[in-house]
Amino acid sequence: MLAIGGLVPSPTIDLSSPTRNRSKTTSRIASATSTTAVADAPSPALTRTAVALEYAALLHAGHCPLGMYVTPSPDNLLVWDAVFFVHQGYYTDSILKFRLTFPPTYPDRPPAVHFLTDVFHPLVSQQGGTFNLAPRFRPWRPKEHHVFDVLHWIKAAFKKHALDEVKEADCLNKEAYRYHDTTSSFAALATQSSMLSQSASALFDRDHPSMAGKGTHSIQFRELKPEQLATLRARVGLKEWDDTV
- In order, the DSSP letters of 168-191 are GGG-S-HHHHHTTT-HHHHHHHHH
Q: Which pTM does this prediction carry?
A: 0.77
CB atoms within 10 A of CB 121: 28
Is position 90 within any domain?
yes
Is position 14 within any domain?
no
pLDDT at position 161 over 50: yes
Is position 5 within any domain?
no
pLDDT at 29: 39
Is position 34 within any domain?
no
* Averaged pLDDT of the chain: 83
Query: What is the band of 245 on the pLDDT scale with cuts at 50, 70, 90?
Result: low
pLDDT at 60: 95
pLDDT at position 155 over 90: yes
Looking up residue 126, the CATH number of its domain turns out to be 3.10.110.10
Range of the domain at 146: 44-235
H or E segment to which residue 115 belongs:
strand 112-115
* Beta-sheet pairing, 112-115 with 95-101: antiparallel
Total count of domains within the chain: 1
Is position 15 within any domain?
no
Is position 71 within any domain?
yes
Is position 37 within any domain?
no
Is position 38 within any domain?
no
Query: What is the band of 240 on the pLDDT scale with cuts at 50, 70, 90?
Result: confident
pLDDT digits (tens, 9 = 90+) for 21-53: 444 444 443 444 444 444 456 689 999 999 999
pLDDT at 191: 94
Q: How many helices (H) and strands (E) does the chain have?
A: 8, 4
Highest averaged pLDDT of the listed ranges 137-141, 221-225, 241-245: 137-141
